[in-house]
A = this chain, B = another copy of it.
């Protein structure tokens, strides 16, 4: 049992300064990218001085890393939840649900997810290990899903599964450059992408 550190934990649980900083950082990173987002901007948005950020984080990289990782995790969790909810549907409908969840997470409420795409390859040479690790886990989720589709026999034949995954993620993540709220319908986009990827022969799994 922790006895003395109650304060920091309380701040964290209350959605305290740390979360507040990350919220503003995510918003700024999303719209301005890594190098055009300064610690002074973040601090000003939060309402504190720049140096105070160093009480909560060790460096700018640590802030960005936290935002990016949270972003990927949010998408990951959203897609996992969607797949769970669509557990008994056809493989193709599970694909559509996953795509829709990915797109919704990208363009929905969260600045984190959008920032994580935009900032993913920092300017830095070595991408932090934590980022690569979390990203890899999300890649594996899609590998598993595509394997599932392949097993169900609904994939367009003659396409390497790994290539298909790269194409699909590219098409989805590219939407950050053109998607605008109200001008596109995520469910429709997801259905169209699923139609492209999977055959139109529906094979019921239940």
Task: Please give the residue numbers on chain A whose beta carbons come within 8 Å of chain B beta carbons, in ascending order.
Answer: 32-36, 121, 123, 156-160, 163-164, 166-175, 177-178, 184, 188-189, 191-193, 195-197, 199-200, 204, 206
| B contact residues around A172 at 8 Å (CB) | 170
Measured CB to CB, the closest approach of chain B to A120, in angstroms, equals 8
Please tell me which one of the listed residues B123, B174, B197, B199 contacts residue A170 in the complex, with CB atoms under 8 A apart.
B174
List the number of copies, as a whole number: 2
A153 CB to nearest B CB, Å: 14
Main secondary structure of the interface of A (DSSP, over half): helix
Q: Bound complex: CA of A172 vs CA of B174, how far in Å?
A: 10
Across the interface, which residues of B come within 8 angstroms of A169, CB to CB? 174
Which of A157, A170, A197, A204 is packed against the most chain B CB atoms within 10 Å? A170
Contact of A199 among B159, B160, B191, B200 (CB under 8 A): B200
Min C-beta distance of A173 to chain B, whole Å:
6
* Docked-complex contact A36 and B156, CB < 8 angstroms: no
**Known pairs A166-B175, A174-B174; A192 contacts B33 (CB<8 A):** no
CB distance from A100 to the nearest CB of B (A): 14
The answer to whether A189 touches B163, judged by C-beta atoms less than 8 angstroms apart, is yes
Chain B's closest residue to A191 (CB) is B158
CA A191 – CA B164 in complex, angstroms? 12
User: How far, in whole Å, are A184 and B159 apart by their CA atoms in the complex?
Assistant: 13
